[in-house]
Amino acid sequence: MMKRAMLLALTSVVALSGCHSFKKENVQPPTPLDKNFKPTAQVTRLWTSSVGDGAGESGVRLRPAFADGVIYAASTDGKIAAMDATSGKTLWSKSSSTKGWFGWGDKKRKDAFYAGGPVASGDLLVIGTLDGHVYGINAKDGSPRWEATVSSEVLSSPAIVNNLVVARTADGRLYGLDSTTGERRWAYDQGSVPLLSLRGNGPLLVANGVIFFGSDNGKLVALRLDNGEKLWEQNLASGEGRTEIDRLNDADGGILLDGSTLYGAAYHGSLAAVDGPSGRPLWARPFSTFTSLDINGNAIYGVNDQSQVWAFDKNGGADMWKSDALKYRWLTGPAVQSNYIVVADMEGYVHWLQGSDGTIAARERLSKKAIRAQPLVVGDTVYVEDVKGRIGAYRLGTH
């Protein structure tokens, strides 16, 4: 069931970055925050809440989901909840039992270890687990609808498109499931996966009847949505190096689509632009990351493997700016909010950077625990979740 001998999440085993050593004395200390910092943007905390014990030590990047004014969140210890996005009030919450949340199968079965998702569309909520299951849930009250068994742990959010749920497993497979029954419609097998890999998978992008994702061997892959057939793949990393650590080349971030152009990046690899319909490479430049990117106007924003925040010109990949202010703070992927870039760090801080030059404009602290998942931006509000399940909502004020 395990996809291979995997590393712990890079955001928790920070020694993998830069020095490529597990020795404690070689771990780079996080850049101290400026104690005399004066914000230039107004940010207000709206509410905080919590769901179970969060991701804990699993290495999973659990991220809240938003749909129709509701925030959905889950934890690896079997808790899932819906909250009013404006007030944080809990609308419903469910906890799996030791007999299995659905009451089926082995009576000794443990709780559902939620890990991939949640994601909601209409009245359907879907989430995957560390023990190889995908659950369909009624988004209105949390009642169970269906259960599907897959080949390995589900570490990233499934996608709901029309009558299909597409789920990715850690052993290199994707499954197309009927959104009403959970019945398997198709399966795609990558064939082989690296023996050593970073902990995690990037989310799926579905557009124009095609599924796009970054693979564990550093490729951008396109599949047909209706039957899972591979259309093309393009390299984001070479997988070359002297050691197994050097050869790690996972593309663990989400793929971006702007017009007909795709953008993706890989660890020990490149940031690349690819023509979506054909898979033809447009440009590439060296850039090593294990988080998702974001885009706004002519700029692509990314966080590299040393937690430096970068902005690139989307038309050719040229540098626009780089910020070292948060180096080695093991940042999440960036999220665009208005004219700002939002990232969170290993000490529970959320930072807003000016999109024009990377200057830090605001800072809030959710907790003293690490935030691993990319912040979720919905209009003027940002939602973040730390590894212990604490969730915060922050509103960006207008000038």
Measured CA to CA, the distance from residue 94 to residue 52 in angstroms comes to: 10
Judge whether 59 and 9 are in contact, CB under 8 Å.
yes
Sign of the C-alpha dihedral, residues 148, 151, 155, 159?
negative
Torsion of CA 132, 138, 143, 148, to 10 degrees: -20
Spell out the per-residue pLDDT of the chain, length 399, in tens: 333 334 433 333 433 433 333 344 457 899 999 999 999 999 999 999 999 999 988 889 999 999 999 999 999 999 999 999 999 999 999 998 544 444 444 544 455 799 998 999 999 999 999 999 999 999 999 999 999 999 999 999 999 999 999 999 999 899 999 999 999 999 999 877 755 556 667 899 999 999 999 988 888 999 999 999 999 999 887 766 666 666 666 778 899 999 999 999 998 889 999 999 999 999 999 999 999 999 999 999 999 999 999 999 999 999 999 999 999 999 999 999 999 999 999 999 999 999 999 999 999 999 999 999 999 999 999 999 999 999 999 999 865
Strand partners of residue 384: 392
Contacts of 358 (CB under 8 A, 6+ apart): 309, 311, 321, 322, 323, 325, 341
CA-CA distance, 309 to 124, in Å (whole number)?
36
**Per the structure block, which two tokens stand in for 361?**
């404009």
How many residues comprise the chain? 399
Q: How far apart are CA 338 and CA 321, in angstroms?
A: 18
Query: 3-class DSSP state for residue 26?
Result: helix
Closest CA to 48 of 398, 399, 391: 391
Q: What is the DSSP letter of 204?
A: P
Structure tokens at 138: 């009624």
Give the tens place of pLDDT for each residue, 204-250.
999 999 999 998 888 899 999 999 999 999 988 776 666 666 666 67
Whether the bond into 39 is cis, omega within 30 of 0:
no
Residue 25, φ and ψ in degrees, nearest 5: -70, -15
Phi, psi values for residue 311, rounded to 5°: -125, 130
Q: How far apart are CA 376 and CA 335, in angstroms?
A: 7
Whole-number pLDDT of residue 248 = 66
Would you state the pLDDT for residue 239? 64
Q: Supply the pLDDT for residue 10.
A: 39
Please give the structure tokens belonging to residue 173. 């497979």
Instruction: Look at residue 28 in the predicted model and tell me its pLDDT.
Output: 87
- The pLDDT assigned to 1 comes to 39
Q: For position 260, what pLDDT does the model report?
A: 96
Q: What is the pLDDT of residue 24?
A: 43
Tokens of 232: 């093309």
Predicted confidence (pLDDT) per residue in 370-379, tens digit: 999 999 999 9
The C-alpha atoms of residue 143 and residue 239 are separated, in whole angstroms, by 44
| Residue 208: CA count within 13 A, CB half-sphere | 10
**pLDDT reported for residue 147:** 96
Give Cα 317 to chain centroid, integer Å: 23
Q: Any residues with CB less than 8 A from the CB of 52 and at least 6 apart, and which?
A: 74, 75, 76, 77, 78, 79, 95, 389
pLDDT at 201: 79
